[in-house]
């Protein structure tokens, strides 16, 4: 969704490459590209002018001859690293984007009172009901006892939708048929106090457009309940209309923050850069998908990094920590680098990736991937490819998953019939899997991962050596950077990274070794059964 904005900053950086100074002449063309991309992304005109004026004021006249200090290795930079004008310009843009979207003032929800009250407001179709359920799930994971209040009595099936979501999440949904929304919210607060609820979330009614009747009802709910947080739920896909709508809701309700939804679609993202500047209220959360876990804490630095093509490593690690714990990750990594990777392990990794989000959303958060995404074939980022691989692995026997070397032509045909695939597709997956396993085994013994916590037994730098020296040593052994971000995922093809040459082993040798391991396991099982 950020491609429209990112394109202008990429073009601006290209125009400044090779310049020794940021002057008014050479910065004019760069700012023109940024202006066009911001306007294309539906950023409000006044916001665009303010942003460009700030960037120009900071950038013009600066002679860039900045070199990294002698202790730059502590920051991951080689000694003598030089900051170029185009990099300095992007740094200025980054700082101003962060300031534009909230800076350090984004803050969080006010949950000190018990029960803390959260009032969700917005137009119909913006995703209030789904977002209310997502927020309930997020707060429940923090140990809060949450109650949802179905205060939208006008939209057909709104109450049923919230009840269904509450049942899935194990969250109480308060609703009394025939009661007016204002009285319903007051009654819900009294009930929450009686049963010890920590947080009450009002899912209020929306309209297709702002009307006085809607606003009066919301004003009455706010006056009668005094909510701690009034969150405006804004559909990012409606562009500058989102800014005008937010301004009107803020004028009538004085909301405390807002949530941008549908940012995983083809939204241009201009609302994220405009609403905070127009209303002065912070963005609290970003809705990035339909599932209940797709509600991210808003981090201005993370979104600015993604706009400028730097990825969002912090956000990616937060997603990762939600689906796997540190010990499991270290154990799986060590297993992979020791060559013990199986189809069962690969299947678990696919499940983890699917929980983290779509392949494209994950790749957008990787540093340096902004410019490469358009060069990756669309089928490589198609989540349906993962479904096909899952079907193939599910059609294997447990023995075939544990011993991939046992697979042969007859087994390929049987697996293909069970998965609705072709023997050629199964064979291709198997070959890529074996190549990847061999590559990871070679990397594990190359010393490249010696400095990674939990993987010290897989080789490492000599005493006194630095990670940079280890990397150079590994390159001298033949390890090169992977040209495709999916080289290590057998499902998605792409060239795999070259690795130190491993002893050649024929398919017959691999099958023989697998058969021997299978027989040894069978003998051990029989021996244990005999003793029992």
SS3 string, 253-317, reads HCCCEEEEECCCCCCCCHHHHHHHHHHCCCEEEEECCCCCCCEEECCHHHHHHHHCCCCCHHHHH
Asked whether the beta carbons of 41 and 4 are under 8 A apart, the reply is yes
| Partners of 234 in the β-ladder | 260
What 3-state class would DSSP assign to 31? helix
Q: Domains of the chain by range and CATH?
A: 3-101 (1.20.120.140), 116-310 (3.40.50.300), 317-478 (1.10.260.30)
Q: Is the pTM of this model over 0.75?
A: no
Q: Which two tokens stand for residue 344?
A: 């069962």
How large is the angle between the packed helices 212-225 and 240-253, nearest 10 degrees? 50
What 3-state class would DSSP assign to 370? coil
First to last CA, the chain: 62
- Residue corresponding to tokens 């050479």: 26
Residue 281: exposed, middle, or buried by beta-carbon count in 10 A (0-12, 13-18, 19+)?
Answer: buried
* C-alpha span between 307 and 372 (Å, rounded): 14
* C-alpha span between 459 and 461 (Å, rounded): 7
In 10 A of CB 180, how many CB atoms? 13
Q: Which two tokens stand for residue 216?
A: 């009066």
Give the closest residue to 144 by CA, choosing from 107, 192, 100: 192
pLDDT tens track of the chain, all 532 residues? 567 777 788 888 888 877 767 777 778 888 888 888 888 887 888 888 988 998 888 887 655 544 444 444 444 445 544 567 777 888 888 888 888 887 554 557 888 899 999 999 988 888 899 999 999 999 998 899 999 999 998 887 889 999 999 999 999 999 998 899 999 999 999 999 999 999 999 999 887 667 788 889 999 999 999 999 999 998 877 767 777 888 888 888 999 988 888 876 655 667 667 777 888 888 888 887 777 877 888 888 877 777 776 665 556 666 666 666 667 666 777 766 666 778 888 888 888 777 776 766 677 666 656 556 666 666 666 778 888 888 999 999 998 888 888 889 999 999 999 999 999 999 988 988 888 777 777 766 655 444 444 444 444 433 333 333 333 333 433 434 433 333 444 444 444 344 444 444 565 666 677 677 777 777 777 777 776 6
Residue 199 main-chain phi, psi, to 5 deg: -135, 135
* C-alpha span between 416 and 410 (Å, rounded): 10
Element spanning 21, H or E: strand 21-22
- Residue corresponding to tokens 């808003």: 298
Question: What is the DSSP code (8-state) at residue 376?
Answer: S
CA dihedral 231, 232, 236, 242 (to 10 degrees): -150
Task: Cis check for the bond before 517: say yes or no (omega within 30 of 0).
Answer: no
What 3-state class would DSSP assign to 63? strand
């Amino acid at each position: 969704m950020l491609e429209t904005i990112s394109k202008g900053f990429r073009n601006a950086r290209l125009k400044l490459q090779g310049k020794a100074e940021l002057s008014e002449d050479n910065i004019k063309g760069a700012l023109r590209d940024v202006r066009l991309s911001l306007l294309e992304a539906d950023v409000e005109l006044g916001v665009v002018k303010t942003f460009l004026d700030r960037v120009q004021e900071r950038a013009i006249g600066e002679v860039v001859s900045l070199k990294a200090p002698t202790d730059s290795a502590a920051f991951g930079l080689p000694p003598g690293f030089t900051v170029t004008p185009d990099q300095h310009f992007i740094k200025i843009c980054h700082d101003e984007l962060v300031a534009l979207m909230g800076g350090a003032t984004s803050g969080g929800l006010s949950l000190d009172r018990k029960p803390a009250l959260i009032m969700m407001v917005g137009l119909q179709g913006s995703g209030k009901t789904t977002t209310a359920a997502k927020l309930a799930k997020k707060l429940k994971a923090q140990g809060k006892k949450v109650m949802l209040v179905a205060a939208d009595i006008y939209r057909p099936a709104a109450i049923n939708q919230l009840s269904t979501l509450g049942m899935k999440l194990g969250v109480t949904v308060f609703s009394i048929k025939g009661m007016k929304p204002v009285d319903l919210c007051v009654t819900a607060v009294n009930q929450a106090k009686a049963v010890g609820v920590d947080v009450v979330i009002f899912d209020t009614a929306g309209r297709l457009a702002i009307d006085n009747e809607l606003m009066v009802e919301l004003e009455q709910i706010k006056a009668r309940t005094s909510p701690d947080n009034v969150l405006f739920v804004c559909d990012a896909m409606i562009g500058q209309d989102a800014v005008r709508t937010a301004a009107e809701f803020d004028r009538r309700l004085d909301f405390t923050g807002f949530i941008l939804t549908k940012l995983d679609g083809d939204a241009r993202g201009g609302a994220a850069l405009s609403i905070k500047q127009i209303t002065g209220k912070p963005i609290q959360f970003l809705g990035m998908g339909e599932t209940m876990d797709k509600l991210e804490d808003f981090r201005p630095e993370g979104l600015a990094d993604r706009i400028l093509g730097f990825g969002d490593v912090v956000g990616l690690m937060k997603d990762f920590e939600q689906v796997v714990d540190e010990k499991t990750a270290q154990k799986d990594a060590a297993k992979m680098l020791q060559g013990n990777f199986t189809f069962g392990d690969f299947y678990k990794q696919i499940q983890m990736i699917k929980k983290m989000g779509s392949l494209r959303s994950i790749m957008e958060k990787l540093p340096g991937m902004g410019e490469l995404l358009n060069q990756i074939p669309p089928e490589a980022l198609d989540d349906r490819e993962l479904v096909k691989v899952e079907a193939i692995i599910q059609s294997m026997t447990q023995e075939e998953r544990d011993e991939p070397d046992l697979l042969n032509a007859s087994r390929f045909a049987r697996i293909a019939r069970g998965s609705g695939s072709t023997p050629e597709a199964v064979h291709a997956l198997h070959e890529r899997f074996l190549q990847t396993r061999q590559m990871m085994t070679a990397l594990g013994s190359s010393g490249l991962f010696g400095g990674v916590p939990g993987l010290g037994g897989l080789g490492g730098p000599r005493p006194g050596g630095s990670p940079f020296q280890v990397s150079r040593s590994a390159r001298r052994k033949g390890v090169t950077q992977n040209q495709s971000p999916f080289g290590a995922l057998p499902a998605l093809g792409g060239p795999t990274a070259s690795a130190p040459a491993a002893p050649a082993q024929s398919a017959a040798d691999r099958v023989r070794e697998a058969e021997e391991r299978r027989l040894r396991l069978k003998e051990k099982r029989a021996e244990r059964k005999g003793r029992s």
